[in-house]
Amino acid sequence: MKKKLTLKQIAKELDVSVSTVSKALRDSVEIGEDTRQKIKAFAKLYNYKPNNIALSLKNKKTKTIGVIIPEIVHHFFTTVISGIEQVANERGYNVIICMSNNSFDKEVINMEMLANGSTDGFIMSVAKETQQKGDYHHLLEVINQGMPLVMFDRVIEEIECDKVIIDDTVGAREAVQHLIDIECKNIALITTVDYVSVGKLRTQGYQEALVHNNMKINEDLILKVEDFDNSEEEIRNFLSGKDIDGVFAVNEHFAIYAIKAFHENGLRVPEDVFVVGFTNGELSKQFIPSLTTVSQHGAEMGAQAARLLIRKLESEEGEEEPYETIIVETSLIQRKSTKR
Amino acid sequence: MKKKLTLKQIAKELDVSVSTVSKALRDSVEIGEDTRQKIKAFAKLYNYKPNNIALSLKNKKTKTIGVIIPEIVHHFFTTVISGIEQVANERGYNVIICMSNNSFDKEVINMEMLANGSTDGFIMSVAKETQQKGDYHHLLEVINQGMPLVMFDRVIEEIECDKVIIDDTVGAREAVQHLIDIECKNIALITTVDYVSVGKLRTQGYQEALVHNNMKINEDLILKVEDFDNSEEEIRNFLSGKDIDGVFAVNEHFAIYAIKAFHENGLRVPEDVFVVGFTNGELSKQFIPSLTTVSQHGAEMGAQAARLLIRKLESEEGEEEPYETIIVETSLIQRKSTKR
DNA sequence: AACAGTAACGCAAACGTTTTCGTGTTGAAA
DNA sequence: TTTCAACACGAAAACGTTTGCGTTACTGTT
């Protein structure tokens, strides 16, 4: 078991000083040609690699990005991570991922953990519970310490920082407009409770589309799912017996549960009723019928977030770049669930 | 913007030495009761938290686990990560995740990156390309440096280290046995090329089940998909015109593509033909018909891997625990695709 | 009064780097 | 022979911790 090689060991072996070794490896002109060659050859032979921790301590930079997300077993978040990873790696950054499991406490603990030197900055989507509580002290503290923070997807308006979002309202409006265009008259909305920001915004988009087309908003056609674990049943109950010819759901699962509920009631999608979802996951693509849905371009969001963060990290002290909010365009992907 | 508080600053502020502050905070008996109280009060007031990097350098431990996986946009891997995260967090470890994108080069780069001090040990599933090349120098090097390595899912037999696997052969055999039990006579296999270890093992399980039931292995009923991107078409072509009453596919997607292909040919699942998949992902659960499949219990695998790694990390120098291979039991989840 | 014992604290090294500054040696110019 | 660059290298500080050991200044004992 060979322990990792250090500058000190090389120095001792070659009978020079540590500083000489360091300089030689960094091609300093201070070091004579022959000793430099000798040192480099030795380092290469024994595969010397500088210790990242020591470098981090010295440079006060870790070259790693902390990512905090509510959960990872969720297609949208994995695509975002994928985008972050790619950009980060290109620029020589590592990515350290923590999950809050939608718990406020875990979010706080994770942030404090990573903020103590492990990370140069954060990319995060806040936990549902955090949005509900409205307690953002951990975020403010991190920002106050001078660590850049980029929020994506579930962002908090009151917090000043870089943000990467989609225009949930517009995405939803376009989805509902599509339903209207294909002549739906009674369009139901299946959404989340209002404190989930994206749910609220998408609800708003739904309403805007109706208003814009002079259709009236019928509260009976709106379901705000409280408990995700029982959403399938909630949706089934909600849908039964209602006269509906179109459904807009704020995520894949709700959309699919709706389709299943219709099936049970002898209604077919798309023959009898149209359905549009949100998030272009594997389910939307593979389900039968394949699902018309609003794509959020997760990888693109992740990439943008990473770019934003790295820009902040690498900007010179003075430059004080202003905070930016990037809106990634959504696109409506039309599939079988809205085609006759 | 308050910069992070350090021992040195506290020392200066309270007019004591750095060592006194450190000892006071760690409740050393060397420090007098009153100064200790004073220091602790000050530290608490200004929310002092020790710098992780400095601690890592001193202790030669980072308390972080490196995870390297082929890709993250894959349900199975996210469940594994989820399991790793949970156990790691319980024990005070962070998790840093890198993706190889199934590229040998990226796997090597990532490992070397993390091995230079960023990580105490690794949990990984090797890239497809690595298995194909058979070049494991990066793994050997890491082990040689004394860093524990735990492999899961796609493991390499020649490498001596802890492993967490499922018994792919048994899982596959049971799946095929189930098809046989429900009286399938012509069972097709849709698998991967042989250098993907799990594909090979599952193929073996398929064969064993047939042999064990005195059924002959018909090579015409075995498809080894070469190119994942064109798998849907490959599967459609393979299936067309064949007399088949059961299909065992080595993953969700292949299974679903098979079902779709049958539909196109006017065959119904489960009425005309049965299908069993592998991996209990969202697709298997939600697809219509819902898919009978072999569950790998990813979260359980991740948790076991993390436990194994942490045990190694925290074992005393002398103790030399032997390498272990944990086999996580699979279970066959029966759903509609095999029920009439 | 001399001494040992002890409580309370500071010094300095160590972890592995990088970098500033100093120092000694050479060769050539004066 | 002296002087002075230029050259090649080393010492030491710094990043933020922890910790073994040394150093005070008392207290109490003989």
Residue B256 has pLDDT above 90, yes or no: yes
The partner residue sitting opposite B73, judged by closest CB among A57, A78, A117, is: A78
Both tokens of B309, joined, read 């790694």
In this prediction, residue B57 carries a pLDDT of 96
In this prediction, residue A197 carries a pLDDT of 86
**Which residue does chain B place closest to A258, by CA atoms?**
B286
Gap from A216 CA to chain B (nearest CA, Å) = 33
- DSSP H or E run through B178: helix B168-181
Residue B315 has pLDDT above 90, yes or no: no
**Per-residue pLDDT tens listing for chain A (340 residues):** 778 999 999 999 999 999 999 999 999 999 999 999 999 999 999 999 999 999 999 999 999 999 999 999 999 999 999 999 999 999 999 999 999 999 999 999 999 999 999 999 999 999 999 999 999 999 999 999 999 999 999 999 999 999 999 999 999 999 999 999 999 999 999 999 998 888 999 999 999 999 999 999 999 999 999 988 999 999 999 999 899 999 999 999 999 999 999 999 999 999 999 999 999 999 999 999 999 999 999 999 999 999 999 999 998 666 677 999 999 999 999 999 999 8
Chain C positions under 7 Å from a protein CB? 7-22
At position B12, the amino acid (one-letter code) is: K
Round the average pLDDT of chain A to a whole number and report it: 94
In this prediction, residue B196 carries a pLDDT of 86
Picking from A69-83, A315-329, B171-185, B325-339, which range would have the lowest pLDDT averaged per residue? A315-329
In this prediction, residue B64 carries a pLDDT of 95
CA atom of B293 to C1′ atom of C2, Å? 89
- Decide: CB of B30 under 7 A of nucleic strand C: yes
C-alpha distances (whole Å) from B225 to each of B191, B192, B218, B240 are 6, 5, 17, 15
In this prediction, residue A319 carries a pLDDT of 66
Contacts of B110 in chain A (CB under 8 A): 89
Tell me whether residues B116 and A4 touch, CB distance under 8 A.
yes
| pTM, entire model | 0.91
What is d(CA B202, CA B195) in angstroms, rounded to the nearest whole number? 12
The structure tokens 């006579």 sit at B185
The partner residue sitting opposite A99, judged by closest CB among B52, B85, B118, is: B85
Judge if the upstream peptide bond of residue B270 is cis by omega within 30 degrees of 0: yes
Q: Are A297 and A268 in contact (CB under 8 A)?
A: no
In this prediction, residue A318 carries a pLDDT of 61
The residue-averaged pLDDT of B8-14 equals 95
Backbone angles phi, psi at A166, to 5 degrees: -105, 160
Q: Are A262 and A273 in contact (CB under 8 A)?
A: yes
Tell me whether residues B51 and A117 touch, CB distance under 8 A.
yes
Both tokens of B180, joined, read 């046989």
Helix (H, G, I), strand (E, B) or coil at B41: helix
Tell me whether residues A116 and B1 touch, CB distance under 8 A.
no
In order, the DSSP letters of A307-336 are HHHHHHHHS-GGG-PPP-EEEEPPEEE--G
Tell me whether residues A49 and B112 touch, CB distance under 8 A.
yes
**Which residue does chain A place closest to B109, by CA atoms?**
A89
What is d(CA A48, CA B112) in angstroms, rounded to the nearest whole number? 11
- For the stretch B63-93, pLDDT in tens is 999 999 999 999 999 999 999 999 999 999 9
The residue-averaged pLDDT of B46-60 equals 96
CA atom of A20 to C1′ atom of D12, Å? 14
Tell me whether residues A112 and B49 touch, CB distance under 8 A.
yes
Angle between helices B33-45 and B18-25 (to 10 degrees): 90
CB burial of residue A133 (10 Å; 0-12, 13-18, 19+): exposed
Contacts of A282 in chain B (CB under 8 A): 75, 281-283
Give the count of beta carbons closer than 10 Å to the beta carbon of residue B333: 16
The residue-averaged pLDDT of B1-14 equals 91
**Which residue does chain B place closest to A64, by CA atoms?**
B96
**Which residue does chain B place closest to A69, by CA atoms?**
B82
Task: Label residue B320 by pLDDT band (50, 70, 90).
Answer: confident
Tell me whether residues A282 and B286 touch, CB distance under 8 A.
no
